[in-house]
Structure 1
Amino acid sequence: MKVRPMPETDGAPRRSRSQPRRSHGTSARGGASGDTEASGREAPLYGALDLGTNNCRLLIAKPARDGFRVVDSFSRIVRLGEGLSRTGRLDDAAMERAYDALMMCGERVARRGVEPARLMAVATQACRQADNGAAFIERVRVGTGLKLRIIDPIEEARLAVEGCLNLFDQNAEAVLVVDVGGGSTELSWLRRHEGGFTLEGWMSAPIGVVTLAERHPEPANARNGELAGWYEEMIVDMGAAIAAAPVDPALRTIFTAGRAHLVGTSGAITSLAGIHLGLRRYQRNLVDGLWMTRGDCEAAAERLKALGPEGRAAESCIGPDRADLVLAGAAIMEAVQRAWPSERVRVADRGLREGLLLQRIREDRKPPRRRRRRGRGGQPPAT
């Protein structure tokens, strides 16, 4: 798998807290907004729906010159995988929350006029793992008309990489994309070669923010020292899950030498970015593309621990729905940074949905195959 960088996305990437830049609209992958195709016809709408262990997310977009322009979006925390690690099944209340969110997604898709053939709808770890995952997907199909496809971990990792390509530092020798989900974490290692980055290896660890938080409930009324021990337990747990990375051990030398960087995609890293920037409200154009150091990430995690559950819930970049999960996400990032040392981390408020859209738009732009000319009598012409 060889991947090449794309033009920058909306909300130009940030390099430091002291260099603010404005967002330039909602075009992804840069270029003109491109509401019409080359033929002059109105560009069709595409949709990408991602039902994860923790979130239900939808993007509706129009193709643009170098990617797409977002027309509508939806995100809701549903915690579909709540309790799954204990029971092996999707909980009834969790399925109701997810079903309600999917109903809203279906209504948006219908209202915007997205054709079924241009809606890519996928489900990930919770539905992969649960005994009743396939049954829930069928219920959604019958009740909402949405046809979700349960994707395997390698496709999930590949789509996350696809959505983050233009955040790669082209001078880096290697990049590790870390996609932290609710029920699993996908890691993708890429090495720079002539003409782009090549996938060197990947793995899916069956630990995400929901599963890790359920394994290690936050101690009530704990002092800071006690929280430190609890937090360290989460880091060690995740570290054990990623210890046997299926890549050449020599690749780690590139990271320890400072010639590589991480790309974090998910709420785990965007929450740390929001705390690091001190945002009073979440602003994607300031977060997406931000460069953070390992020290920045650790400092943000320390601030989150000091805030306590109520303080985290009051933070606009976190909120009450994620207050009990955000430190699990920070612990996962810390475990990865210990295993694959990198002073630089780039924040991605993008990933699987963007990868779905870019993949499908690219496929539709391919010229149709030319039919082979046939000679008289229906036989191919002589050569």
Structure 2
Amino acid sequence: MLEIKKYGAIDIGSNAVRLLVANVIIEKGKEPKFKKSALIRVPIRLGADAFVNGKISEENTIRMIDAMEAFKLLIKIHGVERYKACATSAMREAENGQDVAKKILKKTGIKIDIINGKEEARIISSTDLKELIQSDKSYLYVDVGGGSTEFTVFTEGKIVNSKSFKMGTVRLLNNTKSENKVKFKSVEKWIKENTKDFKSISLIGSGGNINKLFKMSGRTEGNPISYIYLNAQYQFLKKMSYQDRITELSLNPDRADVIVPATKIYLSAMKWSGARKIFVPKIGLSDGIIKSLHYNKL
């Protein structure tokens, strides 16, 4: 007998807000299949508020309320039976983050859970990530967001260590060069300490920027990007102006600036861990929310 359930996940990040609607296909005696039905992305850059001014602006609060109202209607239209909204670093660092969440709940009826870095990493790791990991190999999982980056080391199919750093793309754009240098140094130290015992390691990358880079590479799903290719792409993107990235590469305005610091993070992680390739499975927080809802872990 076939059963199809429909779930929704709202991911409130530092660079954008997303709604993922997914079907969970259940057949007796088989593992459930998770299939994306719709993905809507709204470029509300909360990190530009939180990391510079320490609070979410009134303008972005109104945009958030409008976005949640729209998401609520889409959830209804799609016939979603359960959904969850989670906010990450921008909302948790903004001094009025909780107040904004309360205002959104009052206006829209959508309850937002502001989660910490460890909870974010836990939800992401509940995705199909483990199915991609070969039991006899080692991996460094890197999830780059607007406000933070999560690093997780896997070996023999098990998590060895994980850490969340306040080093996201929006934050890097708004910090001074000296501040960013300190951030990169602390990440370099952690990666080297936690990967030094592995002769061979590969990266697994997640986040909107690495997905875009993978699409731009023209590679088919399952084939990794090499360090040489990513380095060449980084040099190419860095030399281009913001305007040219929009007009020549057809990048969205809110992607055209953050893609450069994001590429630097992935490239640096590869260099410091000794990885020569990065796999891009197109998974993230919203996928983890869907899976956690299905297994009643949220």
TM-score norm. by structure 1 comes to 0.70
1:213 equivalent in alignment to 2:173: yes
1:108 paired residue among 57, 74, 77: 74
Which structure's residues are more often strand, by fraction? 2
How far, CA to CA, are the matches of 2:296 and 2:220 in structure 1?
Answer: 30
SS of the aligned residue for 1:272 comes to helix
| CA deviation after TM superposition for structure 1 residue 238, in Å | 4.0
Aligned to 1:201: 161
The count of residues paired between Structure 1 and Structure 2 equals: 292
Residue equivalent to 2:58:
92
SS of alignment partner, residue 90 of structure 1: coil
| Distance change >3 Å, CA 215–CA 287, structure 1 → 2 | farther
Q: What does residue 272 of structure 1 align with?
A: 213
Q: Which runs of 5+ in 1 are unaligned?
A: 1-33, 38-42, 217-229, 278-285, 365-383
What CA distance in whole angstroms lies between the structure 1 residues aligned with 2:158 and 2:284?
18
Distance 2:192 2:231 in 1: 28
Indicate whether 1:82 and 2:48 are aligned.
yes
Q: Distance in 2 between matches of 1:153 and 1:198?
A: 19
The 2-side partners of 1:288 and 1:56 are apart by 25
2:246 corresponding residue in structure 1: 313
In structure 2, the residue matched to 1:302 is 235
Aligned partner of 2:111 in structure 1 is 147
More helix, by proportion: 2
Residue in structure 1 matched with residue 262 of structure 2 by the alignment: 329
Letter in 2 for 1:75: R
Distance 1:162 1:345 in 2: 20
Aligned AA (1:353) = S
Give the residue type in structure 2 aligned to 1:311.
D
Q: CA RMSD in A?
A: 2.5
Shift of 1:317: 5.7
1:241 aligns with one of 177, 186, 189? 186
Please say which of residues 204-213 and 100-109 is displaced more in the overlay: 100-109
Percent identity of equivalent pairs: 26
Q: C-alpha separation between the residues in 2 aligned to 1:152 and 1:320?
A: 28
Task: Confirm or deny: 8 A CA contact 1:176 1:190 kept in the other structure.
Answer: yes
Q: Deviations over 1:185-224 (max 9, x none)?
A: 11111111xxxx11111111111010001125xxxxxxxx
> Which of 1 and 2 has greater Rg?
1
1:312-337, Cα deviation, whole Å (9 max, x unpaired): 11255622222121111111112222
Distance 1:132-1:91 versus aligned 2 partners, 3 A rule: same
Cα deviation digits, residues 155-196 of structure 1 (max 9, x gap):
11122222241563416521111110011111111111xxxx
- CA-to-aligned-CA distance 1:292-345 (integer Å, 9 cap, x gap): 011111111112123221111125562222212111111111222232220010
SS at match of 1:83: helix
The 8 Å contact of residues 190 and 199 in structure 1, kept in 2 or not, is answered as yes
Normalising by the residue count of structure 2, what TM-score does the alignment of the two structures yield? 0.89
Distance in 2 between residues matched to 1:337 and 1:60, nearest whole Å? 32
Confirm or deny: 8 A CA contact 1:271 1:317 kept in the other structure: no
Matches of 1:349 and 1:107 in 2, distance apart?
A: 26
SS in 1 for 2:90: helix
3-state SS, counterpart of residue 196 of structure 2 = helix
Instruction: Determine helix, strand or coil for the equivalent of 2:152.
Output: strand
Corresponding residue number in structure 2 for 1:71: 37
Q: CA deviation at 1:288?
A: 5.2
